[in-house]
Amino acid sequence: MRTKFIVLQAILCFMVIHAAMAEDGYRLWLRFDAIDDASLLEDYRSGIEGWKVYGTSPTMDIVRKELQEGLSGMLGVDVNELGSTLSGSMLLAGKKDSDPFLRQLSTQVAYDSLGDEGFAISTVEADGRLINVITANTDIGVLYGVYHFLRKMQMHESIDSLAIQSSPRIDIRILNHWDNLDRTVERGYAGFSIWDWHRLPELIDPRYTQYARANASIGINSTVLTNVNANALVLSPYYLEKVKALADIFRPYGIKVFLTARFSAPIELGGLETADPQDETVINWWHEKVDEIYKYVPDFGGFLVKANSEGQPGPQNYDRSHADGANLLADAVKDHGGIVMWRAFVYSNEEPEDRAKQAYNEFVPLDGEFRDNVLIQVKNGAIDFQPREPFHPLFGALKETAPMMEFQITQEYLGQGTHLVYQGPLYKEVLDADTYARGQGSSVARVLDGSVDPFETTGMAGVSNIGNDRNWTGHLFGQSNWYVFGRLAWDHTLSAEEIAEEWTRCTFSNDPEVVQSVTGIMMESHENLVDYMTPLGLHHIMGPGHHYGPGPWVSQMPRADWTSVYYHKADSEGIGFDRTASGSDAISQYFPGAQPFFNDPETIDEKYLLWFHHLPWDFKTKSGRTLWDEIVFRYYSGVEAAKGMHDKWQDLEGLIDEGRWEHVNMMLERQVNEAILWRNSCVLYFQQFSGLPIGAEYEKPAHSLEYYENMRHPYAPGIRPRW
């Protein structure tokens, strides 16, 4: 009986361990599994016969832990047992001057150019042995270097002759969580908020540390914990205790905490009668509030503010400008070294002007009026994170106030948590676009990093897709968007493809077939989605409220600029939004050098065609097809391409662990069905206006337009609670 029990226990134990080992995406790109290539393993082992970390601090403790765990995992030995007695080949890590030997080996390192966060990794020969030295000016720089080194090993790259110097091109590399205090997440598709506000500060979920670690590993150094549609309560002592608990965990990983400030907080929290930025009591209230926050979080980063936008309160409630509002907060955080990120996402229904023009009209006249510690946070495009938008004309137009980028990592308009869409190509398309602000070569990326006009502080924000799902992002491939955002914020010159490859190697495997196929799927995924959702520059034709699924027919909303018909303007004559001089003239907001790229429908890059032009159905596109035929062609080829992605994934069965393979496989099946839904809905809807046939070569839509129009998704996740 007893033996039976023991055997049973052993089996159970095995099962538990096995289950715990099964891949489910929790480990993200930081897996550090044993190197499965014997000769490479041999190389690595002989290249790291010992290791040593110099210096003590909470960050250097993390450096030690990461090296110990990462190297042990990959080398398949307990590296604590390796020598640190400086003989044989070594790996050394420490900041500048942390040790005389390290200093002697680092004479080639240009520390001055590394700044506060950069690092150097060099292979140095000393006494006939190879020593890899990871060094920086600061502890956090060393930690970044360590993650880089471990990544190289995860990617099976040689560590025999390294000569790397790398520093971030952007100062503030920040996630924006749109997380509410009740744990719902606006536009979040990975369960509920990762922040368990109710049980903080006592309950410190180990995920908080893993979160900080994952961010640090890709260079993200800041986070805004709460939704831009802000709740003033987060500024109350009860919540500041909780914020402090998170900030304490993140600090050694180099991550600063920011909060969203509700402009009316002085009324809601402070009991004042006004939130007028020029009222003395309001000014004092913010100063005192800020002083209080810094008592909890001495390195608090500052505020992110959405004001006078979509119902949020702001300075205009008191006939003051955005600059007055931003400066009020900027003055309050200034002495503490804080900053204010003021969002340019403003538009008004009462304004008869094209929504795409409104932010520019509002902010350009205020350029120069903002304090030095204010950044204007601008979405990548002028409408709202559509599958594709041309770059926002505000980039380059603000000369005296630093603009910072706001990308959306969460896939609000990109199939949410069910579509595989790698956003690297989308981010790069915008970053590489030439604004012509100070002549040719003034790319958005160069505007952002201060190379076009010098700015004191630069920034890039990404609206987070992280939730409390076991795999962090809901769809496993959502992780790649978190990853590529961080990597590009660090270095926007990297290509989307090389980052996709890094992610694939670290997340799945170095098997060439896997690397090639997964990277290929990722690289085509965005264009495919654009084709089956909004080809040729169409935009904002999704379902209302939840933004999930097609809704080109949407015409009744509280405001015209929330409908679809406002944007596609389809009628019997044609389709598209005329933003040339004969229409809204939004093109005139771009610099003269950039305008010719958009002005002429004959020469424009067709991906922006209907964004800028209203054209007849028989307009000849570059393929020789009429506009109507081209639209149909794109919708159908988008679906075929989605099917192709699914097929390619199926070929990977057995080459990727079952758990993650199955997850993605099921999601791809759904993606294909939804691509068909988009296609059928859109071609049937637009056909009413074109009056032209869908070619006989194409599969007929399975249902009537009416059927598609009546589909509802009332409980699609991530919707605004109040909608």
Catalytic residues: 310, 384, 412
Helix axes 280-296, 322-334, angle to 10 degrees: 40
Should residue 354 be labelled a site residue for ligand BDP when binding is judged by CB under 6 A? no
- Kindly tell me which residue out of 51, 345, 661, 685 binds ligand BDP, with binding defined by CB under 6 A: 345
- Kindly tell me which residue out of 179, 324, 384, 449 binds ligand BDP, with binding defined by CB under 6 A: 384
Which residues have CB under 8 Å from 631's CB, separation 6+?
535, 536, 575, 683, 686
Nearer to ligand BDP, 306 or 334 (CB): 306
Should residue 66 be labelled a site residue for ligand BDP when binding is judged by CB under 6 A? no
Query: What burial letters (b/e) apply to 506-524, b meaning 16+ CB within 10 Å?
Result: bbbbbbeebbebbbbbbbb
Which residue has 């790069």 as its token pair? Answer: 428
| 479 and 421 Cβ atoms separated by less than 8 Å | no
Should residue 229 be labelled a site residue for ligand BDP when binding is judged by CB under 6 A? yes
| 12 and 4 Cβ atoms separated by less than 8 Å | no
Q: How far is the CB of 543 from ligand BDP (least distance, A)?
A: 12
Which residue has 């505007």 as its token pair? Answer: 447
Should residue 436 be labelled a site residue for ligand BDP when binding is judged by CB under 6 A? no
- 257: part of which helix (H) or strand (E)? strand 256-260
- Which residues, 487 to 526, sit near ligand BDP by CB under 6 A? none
- Kindly tell me which residue out of 239, 370, 385, 553 binds ligand BDP, with binding defined by CB under 6 A: 385
| 321 and 314 Cβ atoms separated by less than 8 Å | no
Size of residue set near ligand BDP by CB under 6 A: 11
Nearer to ligand BDP, 460 or 518 (CB): 460
Should residue 306 be labelled a site residue for ligand BDP when binding is judged by CB under 6 A? yes
Provide the 10 A C-beta neighbour count for residue 690.
Answer: 24
Nearer to ligand BDP, 139 or 384 (CB): 384
Closest C-alpha among 174, 57, 161, 164 to residue 113: 164
> What sign has the CA pseudo-torsion 463, 466, 467, 469?
positive
Q: How far is the CB of 410 from ligand BDP (least distance, A)?
A: 9
Nearer to ligand BDP, 384 or 434 (CB): 384
Should residue 548 be labelled a site residue for ligand BDP when binding is judged by CB under 6 A? no
Q: Which amino acid is at 93?
A: A
Q: For residue 665, give the 3-state DSSP assignment.
A: helix
Q: How far is the CB of 381 from ligand BDP (least distance, A)?
A: 11
Nearer to ligand BDP, 144 or 189 (CB): 189
Q: How far is the CB of 264 from ligand BDP (least distance, A)?
A: 16
Should residue 533 be labelled a site residue for ligand BDP when binding is judged by CB under 6 A? no
Nearer to ligand BDP, 461 or 645 (CB): 461
The number of angstroms, rounded, from the C-alpha of 133 to the middle of its chain's C-alpha atoms is 31
Q: How far is the CB of 181 from ligand BDP (least distance, A)?
A: 16
Q: How far is the CB of 385 from ligand BDP (least distance, A)?
A: 5
Torsion angles phi and psi, residue 303, rounded to 5: -120, 150
Q: How far is the CB of 719 from ligand BDP (least distance, A)?
A: 8
Q: Is 712 exposed, middle or buried (0-12, 13-18, 19+ CB in 10 A)?
A: exposed
Please state, in angstroms and rounded to a whole number, the distance separating the CA atoms of residues 405 and 458. Answer: 9
- Kindly tell me which residue out of 412, 502, 630, 674 binds ligand BDP, with binding defined by CB under 6 A: 412
Nearer to ligand BDP, 228 or 627 (CB): 228
Should residue 362 be labelled a site residue for ligand BDP when binding is judged by CB under 6 A? no
Nearer to ligand BDP, 196 or 310 (CB): 310
| 124 and 105 Cβ atoms separated by less than 8 Å | yes
- Which residue, judged by CB position, is nearest to ligand BDP in the bound state? 384
Nearer to ligand BDP, 14 or 723 (CB): 723
Please state, in angstroms and rounded to a whole number, the distance separating the CA atoms of residues 246 and 472. Answer: 18
Please state, in angstroms and rounded to a whole number, the distance separating the CA atoms of residues 723 and 310. Answer: 13
- The token duo for 340 is 């204010």
Please state, in angstroms and rounded to a whole number, the distance separating the CA atoms of residues 75 and 45. Answer: 7
Strands 574-575 and 459-463: unpaired
Q: How far is the CB of 314 from ligand BDP (least distance, A)?
A: 12
Provide the 10 A C-beta neighbour count for residue 581.
Answer: 11
Please state, in angstroms and rounded to a whole number, the distance separating the CA atoms of residues 554 and 564. Answer: 5
Q: How far is the CB of 312 from ligand BDP (least distance, A)?
A: 8
Closest C-alpha among 120, 113, 125 to residue 95: 120
> What sign has the CA pseudo-torsion 600, 601, 604, 608?
positive
Q: How far is the CB of 65 from ligand BDP (least distance, A)?
A: 37
Torsion angles phi and psi, residue 246, rounded to 5: -70, -45
Q: How far is the CB of 465 from ligand BDP (least distance, A)?
A: 13
Q: For residue 218, give the 3-state DSSP assignment.
A: coil
- Which residues, 182 to 221, sit near ligand BDP by CB under 6 A? 186-187
Nearer to ligand BDP, 260 or 687 (CB): 260
Should residue 608 be labelled a site residue for ligand BDP when binding is judged by CB under 6 A? no
Q: How far is the CB of 64 from ligand BDP (least distance, A)?
A: 40
| 542 and 548 Cβ atoms separated by less than 8 Å | yes
Q: Which DSSP category does 511 fall into?
A: -
Torsion angles phi and psi, residue 554, rounded to 5: -65, 120
Q: How far is the CB of 547 from ligand BDP (least distance, A)?
A: 6
Nearer to ligand BDP, 386 or 584 (CB): 386
| 266 and 282 Cβ atoms separated by less than 8 Å | yes
Nearer to ligand BDP, 412 or 531 (CB): 412
Strands 163-166 and 119-126: antiparallel
- Kindly tell me which residue out of 228, 375, 496, 627 binds ligand BDP, with binding defined by CB under 6 A: 228
Nearer to ligand BDP, 345 or 617 (CB): 345
- 677: part of which helix (H) or strand (E)? helix 658-690
Q: For residue 477, give the 3-state DSSP assignment.
A: coil
Strand ranges, E, within 444-587: 459-463, 574-575
Strands 119-126 and 129-136: antiparallel
- Contact characters 170-189, ligand BDP, x per CB under 6 A: ----------------xx--
List residues bridging with 402 in a β-sheet. Answer: 375
Where does this chain bind ligand BDP (CB under 6 A)? 186-187, 228-229, 306, 310, 345, 384-385, 412, 720
